[in-house]
Structure 1
Amino acid sequence: MSEAKLLQDPLTLSREEMTDWGDVAVPIGEPVSHECGVLLFRREDRSSEMGLWECTPGTWRCDVEKDEFCYFLSGEAVYRPDDGSEFVVREGIAAAFPAGWKGTCEVKQTVRKVYMVR
């Protein structure tokens, strides 16, 4: 059985305490967003994972492959689904992105969130 992992006060973690995950996969223009985070759990078959994620300003393409639930701890981003609408996420907002969601994300201020993907 796996043991529970705790992340005390995820807002106080410095970038140096997180794992560098590199630039986003499909950037759109400059600046290019850079990701880092803390992986709390991942199934061996990679069917699900949970963690803390941070992303710097920039715009990038999102093609969600697995259902994701997240809660934004800080920052601000604008998500634009391919249907032309848009919504803003910031501190205190929870969001669910179903598998198959497609659009873009424009990070205005560095975003930090906790998430679960499955």
Structure 2
Amino acid sequence: MNIKIVRRPAGEAPEWVRDEWIGLSLPLTSKREREREWRGLGVLTGPRGWILQLWALLSGKSFKVKGYAVNAKTAVDQLADRSPSAAAWWREHTPHMLRGRRYFVFDTASCERKP
């Protein structure tokens, strides 16, 4: 299962970086194939360590986002084929997200689900 990005996704990255997602088809993992409501933390402003992330979630510093979760490393690797400069922005500013264990949540309004 995939999602296709059809509009600029919400987020903390600059608009030009988020615009580069438009048109990409990104894979969903089997555990995260469905749309759902997630608790999010900013990729730039959110805490980086898991203990601080847990604390942010428990203390109400997260926000709700309805959408689809995509492995962040996989997404940026695919973005690099289309826009090396946008992928470089992610690698420079969010290396903590790109180790293969973290996810970007693309909001429902920005994507379409594809079989």
Give the TM-score normalised by structure 1: 0.28
Higher helix share: 2
Q: Which has the higher contact order (CA 8 A, sep 6+)?
A: 2
Higher strand share: 1
